[in-house]
């Protein structure tokens, strides 16, 4: 599967994370040639910088694979979706490519959980570290903390990212099934 196909899948899967400001808008499109702009689809979200500016972010998942089977999650292990993933290097290359074309001002990165929570968190941290340290990236980076990841990895994420957040779900016992592969 090519990068474009994987980008379409992983950007679409990321739209379910409602922490970007544009996530709650009603869907409007401009495919019929009338009007300008679109709030439909995936890939770019808008967030607010600490100074109040609205910024565009590439919003993707590292992977939509997951070892858990939480009933409320579209990426749960039992979900019938096409599975794919990026390497940290591919996320860095995509981010820099979109940034250089002036499509985005930063990255919003989350992930399903592969192998373990800490393994996944290590990969998210590696993306942010590579962007900052190897490429001098000064754009905005928002990372999602992975539940049950080693606290030291979450601390490291905070060293490289502008924002680190975590989803807080209040599932019932019947709504979550923590089966691992």
pLDDT digits (tens, 9 = 90+) for 117-137: 999 999 999 999 999 999 999
- Residue among 147, 151, 163, 166 nearest 107 (CA): 163
pLDDT band at 19 (very low <50, low <70, confident <90, very high): low
Chain segment 96-109, per-residue pLDDT in tens: 999 999 999 999 99
Count of CB atoms situated within 10 Å of the CB of 43: 19
User: At how many degrees (to 10) do helices 88-100 and 3-14 cross?
Assistant: 90
State the average pLDDT for the chain: 84
- Residue among 167, 60, 175 nearest 123 (CA): 60
Assigned CATH for 3-18+42-165? 3.20.20.70
Q: How far apart are CA 83 and CA 76, in angstroms?
A: 11
Chain segment 29-85, per-residue pLDDT in tens: 545 555 544 444 467 888 887 788 898 999 999 999 999 888 778 888 988 999 999
- Collapsing DSSP states into helix, strand and coil, what is residue 22? helix
Which residues on adjacent β-strands are paired with residue 59? 108
Residue 161 is predicted with a pLDDT of 96
Question: Which DSSP string do the residues of 63-124 spell out, in sequence order?
Answer: B---S---TT-TT-TT------B--HHHHHHHHHHHHHTTS-SEEEEE----S-HHHHHHHH
Which residue shows structure tokens 């905070």? 158
Q: Of all residues in the chain, what percent are helix, strand and coil, respectively (each to 5)?
A: 30, 15, 55
């Amino acid at each position: 599967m090519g990068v474009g196909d994987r980008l379409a899948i992983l950007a679409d899967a990321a739209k379910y994370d409602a922490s970007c400001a544009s996530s709650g808008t009603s869907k409007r499109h401009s495919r019929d040639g009338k009007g300008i702009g679109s709030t439909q689809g995936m890939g770019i979200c808008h967030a607010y910088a600490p100074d109040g500016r609205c910024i565009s972010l590439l919003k993707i998942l590292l992977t939509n694979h997951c070892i858990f089977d939480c009933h409320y999650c579209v990426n749960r292990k039992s979900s019938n979706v096409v599975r794919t993933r990026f390497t940290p290097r591919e996320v860095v290359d995509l981010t820099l490519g979109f940034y250089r074309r002036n499509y985005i001002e930063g990255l919003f990165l989350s992930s399903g959980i592969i192998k373990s929570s800490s393994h996944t968190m290590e990969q998210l941290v590696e993306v942010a570290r590579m962007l900052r340290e190897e490429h001098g990236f000064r754009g905005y980076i928002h990372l999602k903390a992975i539940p049950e990841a080693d606290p030291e990895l979450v601390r490291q994420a905070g060293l490289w990212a502008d924002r680190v957040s975590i989803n807080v779900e209040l599932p019932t016992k019947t709504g979550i099934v923590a089966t691992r592969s």
